[in-house]
Amino acid sequence: MIRFDGKHILITGASSGIGAGIARELATRHANLYLTGRDRDRLEKVCEECMGAGAASASCFIVDMASEESISAFSRSFSAPALDVLILNAGISQRSTAFETDPSVDRAIMETDFFGPVLLTKGLVGLIKRQEHCSIAVTTSISGLFGFPLRSSYCAAKHALFGFFESLELENRNIRVTFLIPGRVNTPISKSALDGKGGKHGVMDDGQA
C-alpha cells in the first residue's frame, strides 16, 4: 500500500463528490491536506471531517478553476513545506448537443476542465520543481477516451488533459502523472452540468443516480 502519512497533498474540487471522497480517504492515511473549491460551507465541512478522520492537517482555500485571476492569486499566496501530490479533480459537465451549445459554454467548460488544471500546475511550478518526486493525479473521465452524446466540450476538455499532462510528465523527470478515469459515479455532477445556454442542468440523471 502506498504510504501517505505526512505527505502534503493538494486536491481541487474537494468540496463534493469524488474530490471529497479522496480527501476523506487520504485523511485516514494521515496526510496534510490542502482542499480547494468554491463553496466555502461544503469545503469547510469536508475539512472538519478530514481532521476528525485523522488528517495530519487540513486547510481549505476558495479557488475558482474557471478564473485565471483566482488561480493566479491562489498560486502566488499558497505556501506549504512540500507538494508531494497534486490532485486536479475539479470539473463541470455538460448536457446539450454540440449544435445547441453556445460557444461561450464550450469555452466555459474548457476553462474549468482544461485550462484550470493547466494554469494551476503552472502556477505551482516553484513548489513542484523543488520536489524530488511530485505525483500529479488528473481526473479525466471515460468521456476523455471517446465521444459521448451531449458531452462534446466536456469530452474535448477531458481528452485534452491526456495530451497536456502526458507531455508534462515526459518533460520532467520528477513528475509522475496518473490519470483517474471514472465511469459513472453517484455525485451531484449532473446537477451542476451546463446546458446549452450556460444554465445549470439541475437534475440528478438516472445514470448518475
- Distances, alpha carbon 176 to alpha carbons 36, 164, 191, in Å: 21, 13, 33
Q: Does the annotation count 154 as an active-site position?
A: yes
DSSP 114-137: IIHHHHHHHHTHHHHHH-SSEEEE
38 lies in the binding site for ligand NAP (CB under 6 A): yes
The cell for 147 is 465521444
Instruction: Report how far residue 121's alpha carbon sits from residue 175's, in angstroms, rounded to the nearest whole number.
Output: 11
Does position 64 interact with ligand NAP (CB under 6 A)? The reply is: yes
- Report which secondary-structure segment, H or E, holds 62: strand 57-62
37 binds ligand NAP (CB under 6 A): yes
CA–CA dist 134, 123 (Å, integer): 15
In angstroms, give the least distance from the CB of 79 to ligand NAP: 20
Footprint of ligand NAP on 98-117 (CB under 6 A): 112
Residue 15 within binding range of ligand NAP, rule CB under 6 A: yes
Contacting residue, 188, 198, 199, 202, with ligand NAP by CB under 6 A: 188
Binding residue for ligand NAP, selected from 11, 17, 128, 151, defined by CB under 6 A: 17
Interface positions with ligand NAP (CB under 6 A): 13, 15-19, 37-39, 42, 63-66, 89-93, 112, 139, 141, 182, 184-185, 187-189, 192
